[in-house]
Amino acid sequence: MSFKLLLCAPKGLPDHNLDEWPELLKKEIPGINVEVALSEAEAIEAIKDVDAAFGNINSGIFKHAKKLKWISCPQAGPPAGWYHNDLVDSKVVVTNTREIYNDHISAHVLSFILMFARGLNRYLPHQLVQEWQNTPYPVIHLPDSTVLIVGVGGIGRESARLCKSFGMNVLGSDPRLKENPPHVDELFHPDDIEDPLARADFVVSTVPETPYTQSYFDKNFFDKMKYASIFINIGRGATVVLSDLNDALRSGQLAGAGLDVFEIEPLPSTHPLWTAPGVIITPHIAGEGPYLPKRRTELFIENCKRFSKGEQLLNVVDKQNWF
């Protein structure tokens, strides 16, 4: 079937090749009608008569939609408030871009693990003051270590594969799964997470921000982790209570943390995590890498084809849980 599509330029997001998409879509999908909105005012006018839309469709735009059936979210985990009540309560289907970042983010996870395992985070401060420190720091032998991956979706599964390739014992926790995914030795429901927490040398969070995961990693969680273990977060910043994490690091309960996302971004220069012992900070760049525009374009065009044929879309979101 032919349908009308709105491309709403995503404010503040990286290039999504929107300039190229209209011609690509018309070539791939006969009969498609594509409109591009470069402002909220243009989007409000255009959305009144479209069947589908790509972009950040806020509540002010959404309330003017009369026949909208599908929104393609330009991110895997959009900012808080993207899933507004009117959208959640509607029959509009939402898809996202999860899966296109799996290899890049998983490589970032493994980079954190290797840095901590070899003590590189401890040698770096000596380098900054030109100090030759040849008394070796303790090494974590990865084949003798255990990693717990909280959230075993696409990124979690690829992280599990990489960890397993280094001989690690891999545990997973995910409420959606009933059977162990490949490369995961043991799977736990979040309600039963205390046992694996007490065993894991590394705890990796890949979870998205949902009503359930907001502030999930707090003092209670860190207190249950194995003493002097490592916490890694490449999921979403709002899942971690930063003040509790800072306390756990400074008390010695945790030996280190690899952090790419934060509940406050940019992380203020005065925040105590900058100087907390054993912390490696990257500025929300774990997903960076080649081929993302190509993957995003291919995913969106495939879903447009499916929508035109009335077929099941890829990456459909549970709107109640935002993912």
CA distance 229 to 44: 50
> Among this protein's residues, is 284 annotated catalytic?
yes
Check 64, 84, 271, 284 and give the catalytic one: 284
Taking each helix axis as running N to C, give the angle between helix 120-128 and helix 102-117, from 0 to 180 degrees, rounded to the nearest 10: 70
Give, in degrees to the nearest 5, the angle at Cα 255 between 252 and 259: 120
User: Please, what sign has the CA dihedral across residues 22, 62, 11, 267?
Assistant: negative
* 8 A C-beta contact, residue 230 and residue 205: no
The backbone torsions φ and ψ at residue 164, rounded to the nearest 5 degrees and listed phi first, read: -65, -30
Determine the 3-state secondary structure of 40 from DSSP: helix
Backbone angles phi, psi at 36, to 5 degrees: -115, 125
Residues forming the active site: 284
